[in-house]
Structure 1
């Protein structure tokens, strides 16, 4: 992957650009070898309302890896689109927005690697990591897992 000029932890500079909350499931932990097997993105306006959404299971063309972690089996992924098939729809949700993810470096690295594989550009200039944000808030929670934070804030999962 090439050099990037990402802004970490700041919102997009364009007024009204908003946020893109992203989650990926992968076949492993190394974006150079493992593949994205599921991606979801919500485009939120500055007011927090969902403006666009995208989600898809993906056929990675490889073993899906730790099914005990993500629950996605080869049978579930057979016949699903590839990343190249959906990159345009995903890019439309991400474009001009700040990518927000829990452990954003992980999600960003995998999305960037997938885009590189298919010759696409990941339209992300700024990223906000909710793990780092939570760490800085020093909430006193047992850990920084999403489940723990949802309980802390009373959010239903």
Structure 2
């Protein structure tokens, strides 16, 4: 499913996971996605729990229990929905290498390739050095410095909303064109798997 026509804006993502390394069989257990248009206005939200098919890891951090995910879909059941929500958009996150790496690994487990690459998206943590100089790099600290509300920290949609708020703040400070303008044009040619794959 290639990106088609005019880029549609940004998909700001956040994941909750069973741990820190997909190479150690850690898995995604919650996904939050916030859509922004190219001007930074929110145009949609989506979130789901994901059944990882294993233990949930540090529940004291993410607060997700076995009862919460008992009837949640496996990643393979929602991969098409995720791809559809990222297609044609610049992917952004606070600590994008972490989120992009986990999502890429989940698609890879299904035999699906994606254009997910942290160098092809906007990391609000990395850009904080330019837009929030001197601020600690954590999501909570960056939000506090930028005046962005963060309610329900370590819930995927709440954190995605907060990262989207940071991105809006950066866009307002930078003014047009965005400093990552080449990434916006590149999503035209990014190929995402179709909803029916694999």
1:1-150 mapped onto 2 (5 Å cutoff): 15-32=6-23, 33-124=25-116, 126-137=120-131, 139-141=133-135, 143-150=136-143
Aligned residues: 144
User: Which residue is equivalent to 1:153?
Assistant: 146
Greater relative CO (CA pairs within 8 A, separation 6+): 2
What 5-or-longer segments of structure 2 have no aligned partner?
Answer: 151-198
List alignment gaps of at least 5 residues for structure 1: 1-11
Alpha-carbon contact 1:96-1:124 (below 8 Å) kept: no
CA RMSD of aligned residues (A): 1.9
| Structure richer in helix, relative to its length | 2
Deviations 1:32-88 (A, max 9, x none): 210000001122211223334321001000001001111111121111001111111
More strand by share: 1
Q: CA deviation at 1:138?
A: 5.3
TM-score scaled by length of structure 1:
0.83
- TM-score for both structures, normalised by structure 2: 0.67
